[in-house]
Amino acid sequence: MVMVQATLSPAEHAAIAAAVTAAETTTDGEIVTIVARQSDAYHDVALHYAVAAMLAVTALGAIRPGWLTPFDNGWEHEASLAETLFALLIAQTIAFLAVRLLLAWRPLLLALTPAATKARRVRRRALDAFRVGTERRTAGHEGVLLYLSLDEHRAEIVADAAVHAQVAPERWGQAMATLVAAIREGRTADGLIGAVAAIGAVLTQVLPKTLDNPNELPDRVIEL
């Protein structure tokens, strides 16, 4: 069994949970924090690049068919159509497998994955996590998910119905800016703590604390 090293230390887990607890003391809103190593494997992206390499070989073969049969001198032996097609098939296979193997190295794959694709995948994973663990899990539909995807260096804030109705997406800007700045400096826990505080400040304005509101969602950070 392979043990995966935790992203956050026990002390950082405790500090983030304490920040969530503190933020919720002044609001009926509930904050859930999730940290994921990655939001997608991007196998399809690697496949697209491999197919593109294969098609590039095909195009080169159409433009300069002679490179497929380099030992054909045009006098002693002229490559037949079957031999040329077979050489093309081999070249296509080599190109496909070579690119696919190179992109098995995740840093290269992520570097070559379009930013828009990463943004969509992170958003989709955040929405999935929200639907499973936050949406409609509180009596007043007052949950907010802070989702961080480390490999993509992206985060999402997703709010339940009662919060979404009162908070425009741009109002989460301070929380996102705080988180991103800390992540760039390698301070994941500090970024999460700062973002939680910023989210709590917004929730306090729109959903101030009432006496009979229980703690309905866990304060601990969840690592995926």
Mean pLDDT by 10 residues, the chain (224 residues): 55 93 90 92 94 89 69 56 78 92 94 94 93 80 90 90 86 86 86 92 90 82 88
> What pLDDT was estimated at residue 65?
67
Q: Which residues on adjacent β-strands are paired with residue 157?
A: 146
66 lies in the same domain as 165: no
> What pLDDT was estimated at residue 86?
81
Give a yes or no: residue 1 inside a domain: no
Q: What is the dihedral of CA 161, 163, 165, 167, to 10 degrees?
A: -150
- For residue 109, give the 3-state DSSP assignment: helix
125 lies in the same domain as 217: yes
Q: Which residues on adjacent β-strands are paired with residue 143?
A: 30
49 lies in the same domain as 36: no
188 lies in the same domain as 106: no
Helix axes 81-102, 43-63, angle to 10 degrees: 150
Domain that holds residue 180: 10-40+114-223
Give a yes or no: residue 2 inside a domain: no
Residue 132's H or E segment, with its range, is: helix 115-133
From CA 23, how far away is CA 139, in angstroms rounded?
19
Buried b (16+ CB within 10 A) or exposed e, 172-187: bebbbebbbebbeeee
Burial class (CB in 10 A: 0-12, 13-18, 19+), 117: middle
> What pLDDT was estimated at residue 4?
34
> What pLDDT was estimated at residue 73?
52
* pTM exceeding the 0.75 threshold for the entire prediction: yes
Q: Which of 60, 76, 111 is the last residue of a domain?
A: 111
> What pLDDT was estimated at residue 35?
92
Domain count, the chain: 2
